[in-house]
Each structure stands twice: as C-alpha cells, then as structure tokens.
Structure 1
Amino acid sequence: MDVTAIGQYDPAINPDDFIVAPLDSAELVARVGQIVYRRDGRGGEQRIRVGELTIDLQSYEVAMAGRRISLTYKEFQLLTLLASNPGRVYTREALLNQIWGYDYLGGTRTVDVHIRRLRSKVEDPDHLFVETIWNVGYRFRDIASQG
C-alpha cells in the first residue's frame, strides 16, 4: 500500500499507531478506542483534578484553590501531559517530542526553563506537583499513592 494514497506523512501529527492491510474492522475499532482513551482519559473527562489544582481541558484554564492561573500554551501542555500520567517519568527528549514536536531544533534546556516557569505559577510550599528526576527528566507527583 502506498502511504501517499492515505496522505502525506506529517511529523507534527505525532502518530503513535498504525494498521497494515488487509484491514480487520475489529482491530480498527479497538485501536481507535485506545487512541481516544489515551487522548481523553477515562470516559472523556474534561477536567483533571489533583488536590486543589484543577485543569480544564476544554477551556484551557488552570486554577489553584479556586484562583485562576494564567499559563502559556506550552506550560498548559506540559502540565496537562504530566498531570494526566502521575508517577510516570518523562525524559527531556520525550517532552520535547510530545510538546514541541519531532522537528524542534532547540536544545533540551528549554524544557527546564518551561518547567521552572510552570512551577513558579502553580506551586507553593504546600502544593508541590512536579518532581525533578535528576539526570533523567520530570514527573508529576502521584499524590493518590502518598499517605
């Protein structure tokens, strides 16, 4: 099968799955369901709540204890990705690929700068969300598993 028959490959789309011919309709339904689940989470939830932090995925608004926090689009994307997968460690390279795209030519230090700015906006001594995993990257604290 010719890839151009489907359309040009665009790395900005960030594909994470594919199906080879011949097409099995049951497999297609299962794979589309998984993609929707990865994108929307359980039941297509439109908000992520972690303690007093609320992330509204439809309006792109973030609030901490009811106080609205103004984030840049990249900061919002970083926070959403990390908060959607608490406990999962993301390398700087993985964050660059998922947030900035595969064709980003800058260095990995831009991730550090954006994380620092994000922390300054959403964190305080009583609310710490993003952990640095030294020499690796970052993760969102899994608050539910802490006692």
Structure 2
Amino acid sequence: MTGERGMVVIVEDERTIAELERLYLTQAGFGVHVATNGAAGLADIRRLAPVAVIVDVGLPGLDGTELVRRLRAEGDWVPVVFVTAHDSEIDRVVGLELGADDYLTKPFSPRELVARVKGLVRRAAAPAAPTVRRAGRLELDERARRAAVGGAAVDLTATEFDLLAYLLAHPGQVFSREQLLSAVWGVADYSGSRTVDVHIAQLRAKLGEPDPIRTVRGVGYALQDGPA
C-alpha cells in the first residue's frame, strides 16, 4: 500500500532502525517499503517511484553515496534524506554534494525524520497556481519544477530548486543563512548553516556563469537584481 501521502523507500541494514522509521512514517500516513542493502534498494526505488527515499550511508556492498550517485546520474531527482553514524562536516558536505536533500546523524528523533520527509514531499509537490520566474538567463517554472539557463534545462535536487525559487521570489533581498534555513528547510537549528553554503555552491556550479547569486560578506546571499 502506498499510503495517503505516497510511498517512502527506506534503505537501511540495521533492522531496528528501519522498523522504527517504518512505524513512524506509517503512522504519518506514508506507505513504506524497506530494503536492507544498496543493490536491492536501488532496484526498489526504480520500480516503486517513491515520493521520498531515506538512505543509510554505510550500507553493505553498494553504499548509500553510490546508490544516490547512480540515481542522480539516471536523472532521478526523488527527494533523498541521508542518515549516517558519522557526525563530521566533511561527511555532511559530501552527502549534499552527491545530490542528497537532507542529512541526519544517528541517533536521531524519528519525529524529526518524519517532519523532514513531510517537508521535502510538500516542497516537491507542484504549487496550485502556475508561476514562472525569470532573472536574466535564468528561468524557473515552479508548477513543473523545471529550471533552465539560456533555454538549457538544469537538473536540481528538490532542496536546490526550493532554495533558488525562494531567492528568485525576492530578487535583490539579502538573506542570512539562518533565514534561509528557516524559510527553505523549515528548521531553526542554526548549527546547520554550513548546509546552506553547500547548496549555494552546488547551485552556482550547475547554473554556470555569470553567477546569478551574490554573496554579501558577513551577512548571507541574494539573487542578483540586475541582468545576469
């Protein structure tokens, strides 16, 4: 059963953790499918087309980072939450650079996991009214969740899209990392502000030159309000 909120695939080899995640997500109205290794998880994601995926980084065989790398290489941009036992900035940065949308370190609150999955799924859903925003060569179609630069499509993760859409909706306005975390991620844990920097760097790499995002030293980021 897919559940009223859609299907979530959990790829986790620790059965107690997978069962806890399954229990809370099911109670929240999601259908849940659990795979216990990376190869099976990748096949299940391809087969089930879930609304979100929760992936343990340290999987046996095909690990979580390689699983997500393959998904993104195939053009599958389903929202992904990485979970890991490693609480270091380099792990977090690498995970986000690979195309994950969010990151949790074990042990974590299952309620927090559910809240983050809900947020990702909600943001990935098409808005009720069609909205196309433009800035210079950049165009964002919020209903279709498509981005293009100079007419060429750009593949973005759900969180990259939402971050860019938020900046594009407020051209020229400078936002602190804390404001962006609150507005885009829906979290007030400002210790994760490095996450914003990583997503901005990823956006810049994908959007190319000229850089449409302006860094305001000591403050935060803004979308250029002039021609790009």
Q: TM-score range by the shorter chain?
A: 0.5 to 0.7
Q: Distance in 1 between matches of 2:151 and 2:187?
A: 36
CA separation of 1:60 and 1:143: change in aligned 2, threshold 3 A: same
The equivalent position to 2:222 in structure 1, one of 139, 142, 145, is: 139
Q: Deviations over 1:32-78 (max 9, x none)?
A: xxxxxxxx9xxx66100112211001000001111100000111011
Secondary structure class of the residue paired with 2:148: strand
Question: Which amino acid in structure 1 is aligned with residue 178 of structure 2?
Answer: E
Q: Distance in 2 between matches of 1:57 and 1:94?
A: 21
Aligned partners of 2:178 and 2:188 also within 8 Å: no
Structure 1 stretches of 5 or more lacking a match? 1-10, 14-39
The equivalent position to 1:85 in structure 2, one of 147, 163, 170, is: 170
Q: TM-score, normalised by structure 2?
A: 0.42
Aligned partner of 1:60 in structure 2 is 145
Aligned partners of 2:132 and 2:140 also within 8 Å: yes
Question: Which aligned segments of 4 or more residues in structure 1 are displaced greater than 3 angstroms?
Answer: 103-106
Aligned partner of 2:91 in structure 1 is none
Aligned residues: 105
The equivalent position to 2:160 in structure 1, one of 62, 75, 92, is: 75
Q: Distance in 2 between matches of 1:53 and 1:116?
A: 16
Question: Which amino acid in structure 2 is aligned with residue 56 of structure 1?
Answer: D
1:102 Cα offset (Å): 2.5
Secondary structure class of the residue paired with 1:71: coil
Structure 2 stretches of 5 or more lacking a match? 1-114, 119-126
Question: Which amino acid in structure 1 is aligned with residue 218 of structure 2?
Answer: N
State, as a whole percentage, how many aligned pairs show the same letter.
Answer: 37
Question: Which amino acid in structure 1 is aligned with residue 208 of structure 2?
Answer: E
User: Going by fraction, where is strand more abundant, 1 or 2?
Assistant: 2
The equivalent position to 2:193 in structure 1, one of 90, 108, 111, is: 108
1:141 Cα offset (Å): 0.7
Secondary structure class of the residue paired with 2:160: helix
Aligned partner of 2:202 in structure 1 is 117
Aligned partner of 2:213 in structure 1 is 130
